[in-house]
Amino acid sequence: MRRAAVLLDALIGRVVEAVVALLVIAETVILFSGVAARYVFHVPLVWSDELASILFIWLAMLGAAVAFRNEGHMRMTALVTSVTSDRRAFLDALAVVAPLVFLAAVLPFAYRYAAEQAAITTPALQISDAFRAAALPVGFAIMALMAVLKFVISGHWRQEAAALILLAIVIGVLWIAQSWLASIGNANLLIFFVGLVGVAVFAGIPIAFAFALGTFAYLLFTTQVPTGVLVGRMDEGMGHLILLAVPLFVFLGLLIEMTGMARVMVTFLANLIGHVRGGLSYVLIGAMYLVSGISGSKAADMAAVTPVLFPEMQRRGARPGDLVALLSATGAQTETVPPSLVLITIGSVTGVSIGALFAGGLLPSIVLGVTLCFMVRARYRHDDLSGVRRATSREIGRSLLVGLPALALPFVIRGAVVEGIATATEVSTIGIVYSILAGLIVYRQFDWRRLMPMLVETASLSGAILLIIGAATGMAWALTQSGFSRDLAHFMGNLPGGRYTFLGVSIVIFIVLGSVLEGIPAIVLLGPLLFPIARQVGVHEVQYAMVVVLAMGIGLFAPPFGVGYYAACAVGKVNPDEGIRPIVGYLVAIGIGVIVVAAVPWISIGFL
């Protein structure tokens, strides 16, 4: 039975991975064709955005299935990794059982939702919207099947049975307590969205499913709202065309690493200032800024820079803990550098102009980079540089010439948006085509064997992110319907001290949320609630976006909970314990920078 399950799992995995790889390619071709047709041939393709939107929801759901099979969904594992092996096996089983319970419960509603969408005809292609909406039940069904296969393959029947019993008990208690839950009003929000969701997240259940389970249970046991409405809200959250920039920029980040573009950029910076005290640390800060401006994916940024810089920095005497601490700090520093996925998400859920967010994100990151440079200077002021050779002017010039095509890419991307050549969604395809041509023609470094894994990784990471956005959209809708948003608006809008108190409280909130939920789900949950309040108290929405994104960056890369910190340790192949002490000073520097950005609005809005 286990052998049959392994074979079936492998077959389904290969088929779904092939489909999502084709979908990533199709989305790139469709959107780039739309740009070329409109800007070069002046013949707009009226159907391109609609077709891209239909394929996008399939990419999101099937990508989420790939992530589920490969354990790529975001989890809070601090508790899971600290318990005994038996308890960890139980929590791992719970991380599969809980999603399966949600998938089994929501699948009939997803099928009904897709059937209802059949009555809608799309405006451009004139086809039934069921072709798009069917992605939801199909994706849920595939993930449910994968969960069952995981049970059979693992063979941990005792732990899986215990997890099922635990969930059955929780459901039974909530069912019995329905009338009491309905009678306590909004106090039940604490039970479901703080207690239930919080316990689920810390128990290691994937964040997307923790959100979805909490919302589904809240609707089922405390309201008269049909639980099937959650499917529509998830579809709405994942269906924004602007979010198509997520997979395309992830793919772009993987491309620049594979084609060697990141390497030549870092080489130029190392030749330029690598001979000064702490020089390669300054290079790391600058390289992360440049690479972030291309990829939009923090994991891709760190993976592109680390192999080039870390070996030479260690040769010069840098301790691994210091390196991973600075790498994490630069991850937080560059969160606002366009095309940041978090900024794209903010634009999609709050209505703030993506172009304005991209323009406003450049200088705040530089301010934080300066505060980091001061910390680097203080830490490395006694460095011994007797064994370091200074690059000659000829070497600097040659590395600049070689790196020029790669260094130009951030300006190509920004220029395409500013000049109106492409939208924030489409511009990533220009970067993809540019990177492919640079890899094939200029750098002669394009490994075709890596293309398929890169496409699958793109779909998997994007599916995990988009499922979180969908689940968080459903949760935010439930909170809004409960009146929580009105209460939160009243509380935040009446804080003493006006805009500065509001900004200070927001910084604290988003540091905490960033450490637990990561940036995107936190923004989807609270962005629609807090951005209108920011406007009411006199904070420009672009400045507010910069402040909360940078605050979330601190939480995301701060141990012991920040998952970005552990990602940096994994990329740098450094034990997490080694970086905890060195990172404190860097996070203080980042915090000072965030306070400066909050206090001086011009830093964020001066170039709008």
pLDDT at 510 over 60: yes
One domain for residues 213 and 292: no
Identify the band that residue 319 occupies on the pLDDT scale cut at 50, 70 and 90.
confident
Using the predicted structure, report yes or no on whether residue 387 has a pLDDT greater than 70.
no
Lowest mean pLDDT among 415-429, 449-463, 503-517, 545-559: 415-429
Please compute the mean of the pLDDT values over residues 365-384 and round it to a whole number.
85
pLDDT, residue 94, reads 92
Work out the pLDDT band at 384, boundaries 50, 70, 90: low
pLDDT in tens, 89-105: 898 899 999 999 999 99
Q: 240 or 457: which carries more pLDDT confidence?
A: 457
Domain end among 429, 445, 461: 445
Whether 582 maps to a domain, the answer reads: yes
Render the burial of 343-368: b for 16+ CB within 10 Å, e for the rest.
bbbbbbbbebebbbbbbbbbbbbebb
Looking at the structure, do residues 508 and 396 belong to the same domain, yes or no? Answer: no
What amino acid is encoded at 254 in this protein? L
Distance of CA 465 to the CA centre of its chain: 6
Domain final residue pick, 209, 239, 269:
239
Domain annotation covers residue 40: yes
Same domain? For 193 and 280 the reply is no
Residue range(s) defining the domain that contains residue 597 = 482-605
The pLDDT value recorded for residue 370 is 93
Percent of the chain topping pLDDT 70 = 92
**Structural domain ending residue among the three candidates 424, 445, 466:** 445
Spatial contact of 345 and 469, defined as CB atoms under 8 Å apart: yes
Burial profile 564-583: b = 16 or more Cβ within 10 angstroms, e = fewer: bbbbbbebbebeeebbbebb
The residue-averaged pLDDT of 347-366 equals 87
44 & 79 share domain: yes
Check residue 42 and report its DSSP letter: S
Q: Is the pLDDT of residue 483 over 80?
A: no
User: Which of 21-35, 109-123, 446-460, 562-576 bottoms out in mean pLDDT, i.e. has the lowest?
Assistant: 562-576
Q: Indicate whether 507 pLDDT > 60.
A: yes
Q: Distance between CA atoms of 318 and 185, rounded to whole angstroms? A: 57
Q: Examine the domain organization and report whether 416 and 492 are in the same domain.
A: no
Q: What does the pLDDT read at residue 393?
A: 85
Single pTM value for the model = 0.79
pLDDT at 385: 61
Please tell me the distance from the alpha carbon of residue 259 to that of residue 262, in angstroms, as a whole number. 8
The band of 216, judged by pLDDT with boundaries at 50, 70 and 90, is very high
Of the ranges 318-322, 506-510, 514-518, 566-570, which one carries the lowest mean pLDDT score?
514-518
Q: Which of 230-244, 364-378, 589-603 comes out lowest in average pLDDT? A: 230-244
201 and 255 fall within a common domain: no
Q: How confident is the model at residue 299 (pLDDT cuts 50, 70, 90)?
A: low
Whether residue 234 is found in the same domain as residue 249: no
Please state, rounded to an integer, the average pLDDT across all residues of the chain. 85
Mean pLDDT of 114-133: 92
Within a domain: 453:
no
**In which band, very low, low, confident or very high, does the pLDDT at 308 lie, cut at 50, 70 and 90?**
low
| Spatial CA neighbour of 348 closest among 464, 244, 484 | 244
Using pLDDT thresholds of 50, 70 and 90, give the confidence band for residue 521. low
In whole angstroms, how far apart are CA 367 and each of 77, 328, 362, 596? 32, 17, 9, 8
**184/304 same-domain check:** no
Beta bridge partners of 128: 121
3-state secondary structure of 128: strand
At 409, the pLDDT band (50, 70, 90 cuts) reads confident
Higher pLDDT: 527 or 62? It is 62
Given a contact cutoff of 8 angstroms between Cβ atoms, the answer to whether 593 and 551 are in contact is no
Residue 461 within a domain: no
Per-residue model confidence (pLDDT) at position 383: 65
Domain count of the chain? 3
pLDDT reading at 218 higher than 80? yes
Whether residue 164 sits in one domain with residue 217: yes
Cα–Cα nearest to 106, from 140, 132, 80: 140
| 181, 188 Cβ separation under 8 angstroms | yes
* pLDDT for residue 174: 92
Q: Does 535 share its domain with 411?
A: no
CA angle 374, 272, 365 (to 5 degrees): 40
The 3-class SS string of 347-396 reads HHHHCCCHHHHHHHCHHHHHHHHHHHHHHHHHHCCCCCCCCCCCCCHHHH
The answer as to whether 459 is a domain residue is no
Q: Is residue 226 part of a domain?
A: yes
Closest CA to 98 of 213, 221, 215, 193: 213
pLDDT of residue 591: 92
pLDDT band at 257 (very low <50, low <70, confident <90, very high): confident
* Assigned domain for 472 exists: no
Q: What integer is the mean pLDDT of 127-147?
A: 95
In this structure, of 144-153, 156-165, 298-307, 435-444, the range with the lowest mean pLDDT score is 298-307
What is the pLDDT at residue 493?
72
My answer on whether 225 and 260 are in the same domain is no
d(CA 560, CA 580): 8
* Per-range mean pLDDT, top range of 62-76, 134-148, 468-482, 526-540: 134-148
β-sheet bridge partners, residue 121 = 128
**What tokens appear for 29 in the block?**
């071709």
- pLDDT higher at 311 or 98: 98
Residue 468 lies in a domain: no
Percent of the chain with pLDDT over 90: 32
Q: Locate 429 and state its tokens.
A: 């395809």
Residue 295 has pLDDT above 60, yes or no: no
- Same-domain pairing of 313 and 284: yes
